[in-house]
Structure 1
Amino acid sequence: MQAGYKWKQLGIELLNFHLNLDNACFRVKVGSLCIFNIFLCECREESQFKKIFEICAELLESTEYCKFSMLLIKSLIIINRISIEELKSCEDSLMEILECDSTDDCSYNLAEELLTFIDKIGE
């Protein structure tokens, strides 16, 4: 029981460390998203969710990690921790994913789903 608690505390400390990093390299940002994904339920402050979204939005431009980024954006939508304005700020990046010839089916479908959601909430 105590070991589980210590792992949870370590995870929360790691999450907070990543949330407070500025100008982190690309690899650290990807690692941050992995930590966010695991400890998302531990986030309480609006600033934490904003930072998670900022990194997700930035990594949408990466062909290798855009799927993971879009899945985390969907998670933020599901738990109602993303504003309409923030979501709309991703429209251009999502459109680029749709227009890219090398986009795989999964990424295409995720981008299309997010754009459809943006359109529906914008009405």
Structure 2
Amino acid sequence: MADTNTRISTLVGDNDVVLFMKGTPLFPQCGFSSRAVAILDHCGVAYESVDVLQDMEIRQGIKAYSDWPTIPQLYVKGEFVGGSDIMMEMFEAGELKQMLDDHGVAKAES
């Protein structure tokens, strides 16, 4: 588990925005992951995605790492934000865009 935590820490630390999800941004494998991708795409930020279906150690490890039982999980500048429901609430309130702007997150390339 220590190796998995190190891998997760590296992913979270090396990228401004990381989405641990089921599937990929082009082919999400669940509705919650699809919603999370749509929110991030609408915000226009660059982000790294990790397909937990391709790595069972990451799939289980991310839940322990964040102490959050579900996937997807969003991290911004190393900070755990939440899952798709929290992302949706923050997006609708304008808080997610504000957080991304405040942290100076890079915009996605067109």
Q: Which bracket does the TM-score occupy, shorter chain normalised?
A: under 0.3
Give the TM-score taking structure 1 as reference length. 0.25
Higher relative contact order (CA 8 A, sep 6+): 2
TM normalised by structure 2 equals 0.27
Higher relative strand content? 2
Whose helix proportion is higher, 1 or 2? 1
Structure with greater Cα Rg: 1
